[in-house]
Structure 1
């Protein structure tokens, strides 16, 4: 069921200048909006080109700088810093503490300042932290650097999702989020190659290979901060790269799509806490946690699992890339399809189901080739769900406060999946890794239940609104009625 709002618009409202034949797009209420399809595509493409490639680049660097410690470990990191026992595990896990805590506060700041200022500041902050990590002389120094990397990276992912969600109609959103999250696959594919190349500088100017990994990758991130500062677009209300009539058209279509004629204001701690009482935002956290347990497991342990097939280290590393490429392609295709048909639930449940089948093949079979096929299914299914659950849950809320809270809260819950995946794959469980894979399957089953519940409830509520069961809200004062958001009787949830 389409999620178009039913706000009446005066015929005097400006639209994009007509240069071609005009078509009429009908909303839920039968009202028609004059729109030149070629001009509309041109403006959306203009937004896409200004926003998506830059955010993809920044998020690729985020992922690389987060996981490069794994590559650095291969180049005498522990020996040089006198690390032993669980020191390395502590350094890896400590990153997640500030990352989880600071995501909602970061989005509160982002809603109050220009994105280019805040995101460029975060980029420069973690770039410098990575760079200075290369100078560390002790375990304590590296631990401090990892904490600061977590502090600055905390706002990047939810901030990017928040910004993307502010620019597009609800059924244009998943395609863009799928493209954005392809950055994971890009970073995962090149991190090993970069680690090998930069680490080979071992001994140059008296620094070990691990230091050069941090120096070079950190310096590139610092340079990227300048790109963010000069080229990252603001929220639509403050856009300067659009012509005045283009900006007005964008703002009007966004308000119409969200059925929101009033501004719900900037994010605040009070507003975020109040938003966390919305069960749809809590469901977003459950769904993204269900995704990330498997997604992190595949990212971190896939080469290890491949090696248990009896393959060499080189072959295992090389063959960990094709499933990521395949999953990236499929996730974008499903995103385009889902936006086209304006449905989310069926794709979400299907993605979790496909991934469960793949995990079962990896866990239960012994033939290496068949288990490798299982990894394809596991990867494709879960990476269908990763952008999908964020887009779907974002479709169910209205306003910058709820949208900013939702993206930050969901990503925070997702990081718990990274911690869980780090402790459920001990070496003693090789080669089938039954406890770890069973944990992934269990969380995916919870994801299916949460998705079915969202799907069922959204369908029920839409039917009640069609039957006029929420029309009593029309008697509210005009100012309150305009700010009902997803409670508006004309608003329709995405199925």
Structure 2
């Protein structure tokens, strides 16, 4: 049996409209639908994954730089390093929510291209710092420019896929963190070994080379980052209409509108959005602790700088593989809560092993802590995005969750001072406490959404069908046909 054609047709007449209708029917063929989805996947995910990898790499390279004379060259003492780590998050937190407001109004390729160039230059010039204050200023500018990257990418991805296709894509996207965590240690070891070349310390070479690579990547963003589906140019007219139709069918009352201050304020009153912030805060407190302080913790095992850098890579590689596999499984069975809770509990187990085991056996705990928390990171964002229908709320969720998540970065920067080594009990227990808060938030999300689904199955929300059509179209996730993801 021949595979239906997807030749683009523009309906300029009744016959044209009929031809387009036939093409839309053809696209619903499972083989052709799969081809269109793969086309979208390859156009969006690898590029955004690569660009976000640079974000994370440039954010956490401070941990590797520390091992190559950073503190001694800049005469840093006491909490100076912790302050350098912390200050990045201040502008990041302040600008993350406003950034999606502008992302909603500017072409994604232009927005992302400009901010990548901005932080790439900031990282490069950080390598020329001659004092603690100079490095501090550079880190502030990195935070300013990076603030729009995470919420913008998640907002864009969530606009292209149905609710139970989303986690798989987000898991692949978040693998960028694991790739960055894996190669960060390798890059730290390789670039740091240039210590003394042309009179520059190893930490300077880390900033020089990684910052320059990021500037070059800004060109890719400007040229190739796609727009939202309704303005896409790489899909044929029939493919685009099929995509928009299936997205609307997946979200009753789905709407695509410009974000306004009022819409953001209204969205922040929604308990689901507030819960997304708590969940991501719980995740990021541990995730950033692992990313930034893992080389320092590994050094307490009695390993040298090079070995600590190199052995920070395998746990991140393992966590990336597991998070993608569980993302695919979660989308297949359309469940989120059980995986979210499982990830939190596994990470807590790993942190306890790091806290109470001795010697290199603690390395086992690093694996468990990393795998567990990086399971939850894409999952909690996808889960919360699944519970809303409007583009305004999705944009607010990604930005608000990211904003609170960066508070976790500030917390991690403060609770791992060198004086607490080698066990770092205060920092580890802080991470565990936040993960317990995340478990409570996940149970709350699961229980309330399950209750509401039962009410709709029993017809308790059918009275909303009697509303005028204009009001029904504005119900969003309150529509009686909408079901929350559990």
Question: Normalising by structure 2, what TM-score?
Answer: 0.91
Q: 1:127–1:311: structure 2 CA closer, same or farther, 3 Å change rule?
A: closer
Aligned to 2:385: 394
Match of 1:385, SS state, is: helix
State the Cα distance separating 1:427 from its structure 2 match: 3.3
Q: Report 1:78-477 matches (<5 A).
A: 78-205=71-198, 207-260=200-253, 263-366=255-358, 368-369=360-361, 371-477=362-468
Secondary structure at the aligned position of 2:163 is classed as: coil
Q: Which residue of 2 aligns with 1:29?
A: none
Post-superposition Cα deviations, 1:86-113, rounded to whole Å, max 9, x if no partner, equal 3333222111100011011111111111
- Deviations 1:11-38 (Å, cap 9, x if unpaired)? 998365566xxxxxxxxxxxxxx82111
CA gap 1:200/1:116 in 2 versus in 1, 3 angstroms:
same
Retained in 2: the 8 A contact 1:16–1:36? no
Q: Quick one: distance in 2 between partners of 1:465 and 1:13?
A: 36
Question: How has the CA–CA distance of structure 1 residues 228 and 421 changed in structure 2, closer, same or farther, with 3 Å as cutoff?
Answer: same
Kept in 2, the 8 Å contact 1:105–1:269? The answer is no
Aligned length: 469
State the shift of 1:433 in Å. Answer: 2.8
Which residue of structure 1 lines up, in the alignment, with residue 9 of structure 2? none
Other structure's SS at 2:159 match: helix
For the residues of structure 1 that align with 2:396 and 2:24, how far apart are their CA atoms?
Answer: 36
Q: Distance in 2 between matches of 1:464 and 1:366?
A: 52
Tell me if the contact between 2:88 and 2:143 (Cα under 8 Å) persists in the aligned partners.
yes
CA spacing shift, 1:426–1:143, aligned 2, 3 Å? closer
Cα distance, 1:311 vs structure 2: 4.3
1:304 CA displacement: 3.3
Instruction: Give the aligned CA root-mean-square deviation in angstroms.
Output: 2.2
Deviates more, 1:125-134 or 1:271-280: 125-134
1:26: which partner in 2? none
1:13-70 alpha-carbon deviations (Å, 9 max, x no partner): 8365566xxxxxxxxxxxxxx8211111111101110111111110111111112233
Does residue 66 of structure 1 match 2:40?
Answer: no
| Structure 2 residue 474 is the aligned partner of structure 1 residue 480 | no
Distance 1:445 1:305, change over 3 A: same
- 8 Å CA contact 2:60, 2:291 repeated in 1: no
Please list the CA deviations of residues 193-248 of structure 1 after superposition, one character each: whole Å capped at 9, or x if unmatched.
22333344445555444333222212211111110111111000100000100000
Query: d(CA) in 1 for partners of 2:118 and 2:359?
Result: 47
Structure 1, unpaired ranges of 5+? 1-10, 20-33
Whether the aligned pair in 2 keeps the contact of 1:285 and 1:411 (CA below 8 Å) is yes
- Between stretches 232-241 and 198-207, larger displacement belongs to 198-207
Once the two structures are TM-superposed, the CA of residue 185 in structure 1 deviates from its matched residue by: 1.1
Change in Cα spacing, 1:131 to 1:361, as seen in structure 2 (3 Å) is closer
Q: 1:12/1:389 Cα in 2 relative to 1: closer, same or farther (>3 Å)?
A: farther
C-alpha displacement of 1:191: 1.5
| Shift of residue 123, structure 1, vs aligned partner | 0.7
Displacement of 1:366 after TM fit? 3.2
Q: Equivalents in 1 of 2:207, 2:419: separation in Å?
A: 32
1:116/1:232 contact within 8 Å kept: yes
1:170 and 1:12, CA in 2 relative to 1: closer, same or farther beyond 3 A?
farther
Give how far 1:72 is off: 3.1
Q: Write the distance in 1 (CA, Å) between the matches of 2:359 and 2:86.
A: 33
Q: Which runs of 5+ in 2 are unaligned?
A: 1-17
- Tell me which moved more, 397-406 or 416-425: 416-425
Residues 282, 434 of structure 2: 8 Å contact kept:
yes
Deviates more, 1:416-425 or 1:138-147: 138-147
CA distance in 1 between partners of 2:40 and 2:96 (Å) = 25
CA contact (8 A) 1:392 1:494 kept: yes
CA contact (8 A) 2:64 2:295 kept: no
